[in-house]
């Protein structure tokens, strides 16, 4: 990935999060405390502000630095988890990753998020999008297909009962609403896939 690509990808991610901040807030208002849109916007604007600095680094270091910045700026439960995702990805990825390396690194990063959150798939969290996206990558799906997998996976959290995070306090009443972190994860997957340039 070129420096220009990474800077462009960061800007696209920040644009997407900003454009959907109200939606993410509304989702988090329904079954959480309503700060997810603001949390993500604050974090991704902070990353955008230093995009050129990050883009000048080799990809592994850039991802680690982005993860550190997200931990410091997103806040809430999701900040350390998204931060862990990027930091672990940076630790495992090569400077010029092929699909196999990206898939393996992404798998390790998901494991790191699960360890940090003491969570697993099926608990109505960001993991319910991350894992299907990993599996689609491993299955050789196209970028367009992976975006569809991410959207469907976020949609599938509507029917789930939350077992982690604030939404779990609601028990059965968490059913019927999309998980905010699952939605923001699907938005980021779309942005990355589009920036990589294979999405029709």
Instruction: Mark 142-181 with x for binding to ligand ADP (rule: CB under 6 A) and - for no binding.
Output: ----------------------xxx------------xxx
Output 33 or 155, the one with its CB closest to Mg ion. Answer: 33
Output 79 or 97, the one with its CB closest to ligand ADP. Answer: 79
Output 62 or 81, the one with its CB closest to ligand ADP. Answer: 81
Q: Is 182 in contact with 157 (CB distance < 8 Å)? A: yes
Output 90 or 181, the one with its CB closest to Mg ion. Answer: 181
Q: Which of 174, 93, 60, 65 is nearest to 128 (CA)?
A: 174
- Which residues ranging from 48 to 67 are in contact with Mg ion (CB under 5 A)? none
Output 36 or 48, the one with its CB closest to Mg ion. Answer: 36
* CA–CA distance, 120 with 141 (Å, rounded to integer): 23
The one segment of 21-29, 47-55, 58-66, 97-105 that binds Mg ion by CB under 5 A = 21-29
CA quadruple 100, 101, 107, 110: dihedral sign:
negative
Query: Site for Mg ion (CB under 5 A): which residue of 9, 14, 25, 28?
Result: 28
- Picked from ligand ADP, Mg ion, none, the partner binding residue 24 (CB below 5 to 8 A depending on kind) is none
Q: Which of 45, 49, 56 is nearest to 4 (CA)?
A: 56
129 in contact with ligand ADP (CB under 6 A) = no
Query: Site for ligand ADP (CB under 6 A): which residue of 126, 150, 153, 193?
Result: 126
- Picked from ligand ADP, Mg ion, none, the partner binding residue 165 (CB below 5 to 8 A depending on kind) is ligand ADP
190 in contact with ligand ADP (CB under 6 A) = no
Binding site for Mg ion (CB under 5 A): 28, 32-33, 35-36
């Amino acid at each position: 990935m070129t420096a220009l690509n990474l800077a462009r990808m960061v800007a696209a991610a920040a644009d997407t999060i900003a454009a959907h901040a109200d939606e993410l807030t509304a989702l988090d208002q329904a079954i959480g405390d309503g700060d997810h849109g603001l949390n993500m916007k604050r974090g991704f604007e902070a990353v955008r502000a230093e995009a050129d600095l990050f883009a000048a680094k080799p990809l592994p270091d850039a991802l680690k630095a982005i993860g550190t910045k997200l931990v410091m700026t997103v806040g809430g439960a999701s900040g350390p988890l998204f931060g862990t995702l990027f930091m672990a990805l940076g630790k495992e990825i090569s400077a010029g990753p092929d699909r196999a390396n990206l898939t393996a690194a992404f798998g390790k990063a998901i494991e790191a998020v699960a360890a940090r959150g003491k969570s697993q798939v099926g608990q109505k969290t960001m993991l319910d999008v991350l894992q299907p996206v990993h599996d689609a990558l491993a299955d050789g799906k196209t970028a367009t297909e992976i975006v569809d997998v991410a959207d469907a996976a976020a949609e599938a959290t509507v029917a789930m009962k939350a077992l982690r995070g604030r939404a779990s306090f609601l028990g059965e009443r968490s059913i019927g609403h999309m998980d905010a972190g699952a939605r923001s994860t699907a938005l980021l997957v779309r942005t990355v896939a589009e920036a990589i340039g294979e999405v029709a």
